[in-house]
Amino acid sequence: MLGWALTFLVVALIAAVFGFSGLASASAGIAQILFVIFLILFVVAMIARAVRGNPPV
């Protein structure tokens, strides 16, 4: 999931350099959404690991 977020971020940056504003904004939006989803899943995984008794690494 993080790989997809980084991919869309790179696409957005390249599109912004070349001036494709519609493509850049769409890719940036998708990258932000995927990053937030990744962050939420990471926090949930850390909480689940702590609840099971395994300390976070």
pTM above 0.75, yes or no: no
At 17-42, the pLDDT tens digits run 777 767 777 878 888 888 888 889 88
Question: Which contacts qualify for 23-32: CB closer than 8 Å, 24 or more apart?
Answer: 31/5, 31/6, 31/7
Q: What ranges do the domains of the chain cover?
A: 2-51
Q: In 3-state terms, what secondary structure has residue 24? A: helix
DSSP class of 19? T
> Around 57, how many Cα atoms within 13 Å sit in the side-chain half-sphere?
2
